A and B are shown apart, each in its own frame.
Chain A
Amino acid sequence: MKSMKRWPALALGLVLVASACGGDDGGSDLLSEVQDRGTIRCGVNDTLPGFGIVDDAGVYSGFDIDFCRVVAAAVLGDANAVEYVPLIPADRFTALQSGEIDLLIRNTTWTATRDGQEGANFLFTTYFDGQGLMVREASGFTSMDDLVDANVCVQTGTTTELNLTAIFNARGIPFNPVVFADNTQLLPAYQEGQCDVFTSDVSQLTAFKATIEGEGGPTQLILPEVISKEPLGPVVADGDSEWAQAVEWAVMATVQAWEFGITSSNVNGFTSDNPNVANFLGADGFETGIGLPTDFAVQVISQVGNYEEIYTRHLVPLGLPLDGTPNDLWLNGGLMYPPPYR
């Protein structure tokens, strides 16, 4: 009978040894997985007009949405092969880490801590933004120093929350944050007077200002101080550089096309004496080894458009100009400078 008492212990020992032998599975290979699957799972915003919003029919539209479509057009040849996963800021990195989404294009700011701690890999910045503060014009606030003791509406899980705390504390301005996880609750709280100030990226503030005033609400004022740098762009998970490169070159193709003067209306049959243009459009089967099809640029531009078209379609109507801002092409003095496709 003694041997029988030892069985559970022996079995347990075997199991422990066996599990210790299990290693991790090395780097993942998302590019081939996405190509096999036939759709891209893109984490997006569904409450931000201009960047990512869903209408009553369930159709997503916006600047970031269009970049999801750009990646789909490049990798899969079909801009509509996207499965949109709406996320609140508090969940977005967890979704990326767990593999629930392949790609996060959700007005996400690139910071060092996020690079290090979130297992995230930030790619080409598609929108250079900054954080601002919005108040009701009738409130009489004209600058940040007037905001002593103010109630500030802010969304949790964002760099906005952290910047607000850091800047206000550095200036010695006491304040009280009114924090929600979801944008849809922040706006009613702000409009009903539960907070005096609404803080977010200036692009978001412009979108909300247009929405509030468009519905007949009181005039809003975006305070002159821009209190941080917010470079927004697509994000992928760490550990898969093949996928990261494919996504990045797909996105940068839109800016490159803008630089060459290629638009969705003239891409078919576009000729130029610049030899780089021919390679860019995939003539003679030019191969870079990135893993994208040779004609990916043609697919992207014809199905979605170049950067200027995407920007003008979604952001100019909100009141965000392109000319003269950091989002302008480098030839015009902006920061959009795509590496050469060579």
Chain B
Amino acid sequence: MTGIINEPGQVTNVVWYRNVKVLRRVGQTLALVAVVSLVLWLFNNLVSSMNRLNIGTDFGFLSRPTQFQIPFDDGFDPRSPVRDMVLVGVKNTFLSAFFGIVLASVLGLIIGVARLSSNWLVAKTATVYVETLRNIPPLIVIIFFGAAIFTFGPFPVLSEAVQIKFPGRSDNLLILSNTRWGVPSLAAGPGAGAFWMFLAGAVLAAVAAFVWRTRLHERTGAPLQRMRYPLGAFVVVALAGWLLVGDAYAVSWPVVRASARSIQGGFVLNYGFMALTLALGMYTASHIAEIIRGSILAVPKGQSEAANAIALSSFQRYRYVVLPQALRIAVPPVISQYLNLVKNTSLGVAVAYAEITSLTVSSIGNGRPAPQSILVLMAVYLTFSLTISFLLNIYNRRIQLVER
């Protein structure tokens, strides 16, 4: 039999059902067909059910009026269209997620390091904190914080609110009640625009200082000091702007209204926001603490020993040797925790916080079409998550440890 072994360039004829290339193509095609037909069948099912029930399948509901008032939001007009409600929900979700992430990161870092402390009490307290919060579902933590701190907590009703005065003045530094807290804020005055131009100039000055120190270091080897000079430049220009403009911002003090049912002025924090942010910050901190602890332990022991050998203090060892290496390892898992926190803000309905999921639930309960509303909701969370992971992945790539 000739042709068992091919000459170069000679093609053997194999039956198509034994030709591996063909089989692979067929397999992939069948898989694709199966997935696509499943999705199309589901979609067709949904559309025909909605048509049978006479529910609209378009997105026109976004232009119709919302018809309900948003909790703790004085400025919202119920006649505005649903897309305005969506924007308010996105803003509220962002606020809670942002402050939650900040709290979780700071607290997580502290507790993660504390767990490795040589002080027995500190280490044990941190362990108890982590093991308790990590093992309770986030919804329970949120409801607990809402109930324990606010609903059944020590704060009085607004009519008898605790008003802590600013020392030396009769204005309120802090108003505490079981529904709202008030803190002073800055209200823009007539000079605000001019002041912001000075701030822009201050940023430019900081960048210029940064570049100057870099060039100076390259030329003469002078210490980089790229934190203090730009910071100093920023502060000097901003301060100059503040003093020159004079009436850029005035302090707005919070005052309990005469009706004793809400707070006017200042920055008002409602209890839903505080309960949700605090609960999620502490819950996610317990996860981040474990990540930090793991990444500190992943730094080779020789590094700590070498740091001790050159007589660095414990703080210096962490600040200059261990943490710079540990935090680089920690970034990818911490990104996941941040995304989890953003998604967990959807539990805000349990504490009457008007974030996007709770507003969507209200909207669906009041007659808006459910499939389209949920699609909008999914798009919101997808945008949040993809943006956060995109930005933080850029950061991660820049600081990753490169193995040679």
Contact = CB atoms under 8 A, between A and B. Distances in A.
A231 interface: no
Contact of A117 (B55, B350, B354): B55
Given A8-B32, A19-B37, A188-B152, A114 B367 contact: yes
A194 B178 contact: yes
Nearest to A168: B69
A156 B362 contact: yes
A24 B365 CA distance: 26
A90 B179 contact: no
B164 interface: no
A196 interface: yes
A157 interface: yes
Interface in A1-47: 4, 7-8, 11-12, 14-16, 18-19, 22-25, 27
B71 A19 contact: no
A148 interface: yes
B178 A192 contact: yes
Contacts of A14: 33
B33 A11 contact: yes
B367 A113 contact: yes
A12 B262 contact: no
A179 B354 contact: yes
A181 interface: yes
Interface residues of A, number: 61
Contacts of B370: 94, 97
A158 B179 contact: no
A223 interface: no
Contacts of B33: 11-12, 14-15
B187 interface: no
B29 A158 contact: no
Contacts of A193: 157, 178
B54 interface: yes
Nearest to B261: A149
Interface in B160-217: 178-179
B257 A149 contact: yes
B156 to A, nearest CB: 8
A176 B71 contact: yes
Contacts of B29: 7-8, 11
A185 to B, nearest CB: 7
B352 A117 contact: no
A27 B40 CA distance: 22
A19 B40 CA distance: 7
Interface in B229-259: 257, 259
Interface residues of B, number: 57
Given A15-B36, A166-B67, A157 B369 contact: no
A118 B261 contact: no
Interface string A234-268: 00011100000000000000000000000000000
B349 interface: yes
B52 to A, nearest CB: 5
A189 B151 contact: yes
Contact of A189 (B44, B54, B352): B352
Contacts of A8: 25, 28-29, 32
Interface in A142-192: 148-151, 156-158, 161-162, 164-166, 168-169, 174-181, 185, 188-189, 192
Contacts of A158: 365-366
A114 B369 CA distance: 11
Given A7-B29, A15-B37, A151-B261, A238 B68 contact: no
A119 B22 contact: no
A13 B21 CA distance: 22
A175 B69 CA distance: 9
Contacts of B67: 162, 165-166
Given A8-B29, A118-B367, A166-B67, A180 B349 contact: yes
A233 interface: no
A97 to B, nearest CB: 6
A15 B157 CA distance: 63
A340 interface: no
Contacts of A156: 68, 349, 358, 361-362, 365-366
Contacts of A116: 54
A89 interface: yes
Interface in A262-280: none
Contacts of B261: 148-151, 176, 196
Given A15-B36, A148-B259, A194-B271, A7 B362 contact: no
Given A12-B36, A98-B49, A161-B68, 12 more contacts: A7-B25, A11-B30, A24-B49, A24-B51, A90-B361, A90-B362, A113-B367, A150-B259, A177-B71, A179-B358, A192-B152, A194-B179
13 contacts: A8-B25, A15-B33, A15-B37, A19-B41, A90-B364, A156-B68, A157-B365, A164-B69, A176-B69, A176-B74, A178-B71, A189-B352, A194-B150
